Each structure stands twice: as C-alpha cells, then as structure tokens.
Amino acid sequence: MRTQKGTLIKDIKRQKYIYLMIFIPLVFYAVFKYIPLWNAQIAFRDFKSVRYGILNSPFVGLKNFKEFISSYYFWNLIKNTLMYSFGKLLVSLPSAIVLALAIYECRRPILRKTVQTLAYLPHFLSWVIMYGILLSLLAPGDGVVNDLLKTLGKKPIDFLTNSNVFPFLVIFSDAWKEMGWSAIIFIAALMGIDVSLFEAAMVEGATSWQRVRYITLPAIRPVIVIVLLLKIGTIMEAGFNQIFMLYSPAVYNVADIIDTWVYRQGLLDGRFGLATAAGLFKGVIGMLLIFITNYFSKKYTDNSLF
C-alpha cells in the first residue's frame, strides 16, 4: 500500500504539468456542472421564493413532473424538439463530412485555406447577428431572396412567420452556421490517413469516388461514430439561442421546444419547480439515449465512448 502511494506521489511530481492541465477542466466541471446539480432538487419541491430557500420549500415529490407530462403542450414540445434535433443531425453531420472531404481533396492551398476560413467564420457569430443577416436576406419587403422571387414573377414568402417554411429555415441556417466548425474534427481525422494507401489505389487505377468510398470513409468511420454518439446524447437540445431569436407567436405551433417553454415557465411565470422538472426530464432522456446508442455502437461497430 505504501509502495503504491509512494509511486503515485512520484508519478504526480514527475507529471505535475499534465496533472495541472487536468486540474483546470476538473474545477470547471465541478463549479459549473456538478455543484449546480444540488439545485435540481427544486424539481421535487414547491419552490416559490428565494426568501425561504430550497430546503425550506415544501417537498412535493413527482408533482411537477406529472404536471409537465400531462400538460397540453407536452407532446407538441417533444415533437418539435425531436424534429429540430434529428433534422439538424441529418443535415449538419453529412454536410460537415462532405465539406471536410472537399477541403481534404482540394489540391490548391490558397483555395483550400479560403474555403476553410469562410466556412469557419459563421460559427463565431452570435445568433443575434445571424438573425440580422437572415432578416436582410429573407425579409418579405426588401429581402434579397424575396426580391429575387419577385423578379421571377413569384409571390414573396414570409419565411420567419410561415409555419411550413420555418422548420427548414431553422435546420438549414444551423447547418450553415456550424458546418465549417464541425468539419474540423473530420479534417483532423483525414490528416491521419496513411498517404501510401491513396498512392497504391491510384496505381491500381481507382477513381476519386472509389478512393473516398474504400479508403477515406472507412478510415474516419470511428470518428463519425463518436461524433454521432455525442450528438445523440444532446438530442433533446434543439438549440435554444437560435429558436429564441427566430421564433414568434405566429409560429409557436412548430417552433416551441422544451427549452423555450422552460424559459417562459421559469423566468417569465416564476414556476421554478415546473421548469426545473422539465429540464431534468430532458437531461435524463438524453443520458438514457447516450447509454442505449453507445451499447448498440459497441455491439455492431466496435466503436464506443466507454
């Protein structure tokens, strides 16, 4: 026991900078992720005011969860949340992979760097700025897209208040904003492929598509699976900031998600217990999904998070 303890101390002293690098993210997660879990007990209490605090609020068990699940809005919130989450997953992930492949296959360094930079830039813009850009492009009066439609003899479309168009606007604007940033991890994976494989394939007469199909995609498959697993774990996160900026009462039926409903119930109506119960419900569903998908991924692809 003393030998193991002495070895551990020697190891910490020898690798002190590595342990210091680990210490900082551990503190971050402890302060901002684990300590706030204490406040999750509000979901089981009738919390009305900070004056009485959490512990002095009456314990109501699963009352808040039952009220959320039996709410008139429950199934519509679940439907909208899953629609946006899966829609973004189906559009964003393939588009990021295609962009990474295109950048990797590009043989002109200037063009490659230009495309990379332009693709990364939208990620650094907030949804407030993105809303302004979308409004200037899609406004029914003087938006660029509607001006083009008028020129072609078509009727203008109010993209932000049309229930049929709004979901597509949310999904594709998210793909536009995050596609370049998401492609970084796939480009890094592509850089790790042995170049001799491509050279051998070219000697054998393989076309570009055959090289992508039989070398590139199989080589980055583990990374694709890991990214997919991580996104499945946050499948109940449909993008609060984006939808909060874009939605309006005219499109509530297709735009309202769990996060926006939690915002209105918690901060606007002061129903902290109900809002926390909805947020906790969302977190538990996400955790179960990541365990289930990780199990099947490990069973059928030999790739998993744990």
Query: Could you read off the pLDDT of 143-202 as tens digits, one per residue?
Result: 888 888 888 888 888 888 888 899 999 999 999 999 999 999 999 999 888 889 888 888
Q: How far out from the chain centre does Cα 276 lie?
A: 21
Tell me the pLDDT of the chain averaged across its residues. Answer: 87
Q: Which two tokens stand for residue 104?
A: 């990797």
Determine the Cα–Cα distance for residues 243 and 254; give it in Å rounded to an integer: 11
Q: State phi, psi for 296 to the nearest 5 degrees.
A: -70, -35
Q: What range defines the domain where residue 176 resides?
A: 62-301
Has residue 270 got a pLDDT over 60? yes
Has residue 7 got a pLDDT over 70? yes
Note whether residue 5 is domain-resident.
Answer: no
Domain count, the chain: 1
- Are 149 and 156 in contact by the 8 Å Cβ rule? The answer is yes
Q: State phi, psi for 209 to the nearest 5 degrees.
A: -65, -40
pTM above 0.95, yes or no: no
Note whether residue 49 is domain-resident.
Answer: no
Determine the Cα–Cα distance for residues 13 and 7; give it in Å rounded to an integer: 10
- Are 169 and 160 in contact by the 8 Å Cβ rule? The answer is yes
Q: State phi, psi for 122 to the nearest 5 degrees.
A: -55, -25
Local confidence band at 2 (pLDDT 50, 70, 90 cut-offs) = low
pLDDT, position 138? 87
Note whether residue 223 is domain-resident.
Answer: yes
- Are 57 and 46 in contact by the 8 Å Cβ rule? The answer is yes
Note whether residue 168 is domain-resident.
Answer: yes
The model's pLDDT over 192-229, given as tens digits with 9 standing for 90+, comes to 888 898 888 888 888 888 888 888 988 888 888 888 88
CATH of the domain at 139: 1.10.3720.10
Which residue, chain included where needed, has tokens 């598509």?
209
Note whether residue 37 is domain-resident.
Answer: no
Note whether residue 306 is domain-resident.
Answer: no
The model's pLDDT over 124-148, given as tens digits with 9 standing for 90+, comes to 999 999 999 988 888 877 788 888 8
Note whether residue 43 is domain-resident.
Answer: no
Note whether residue 10 is domain-resident.
Answer: no
For the chain, give percent helix, strand, coil, nearest 5: 75, 0, 25
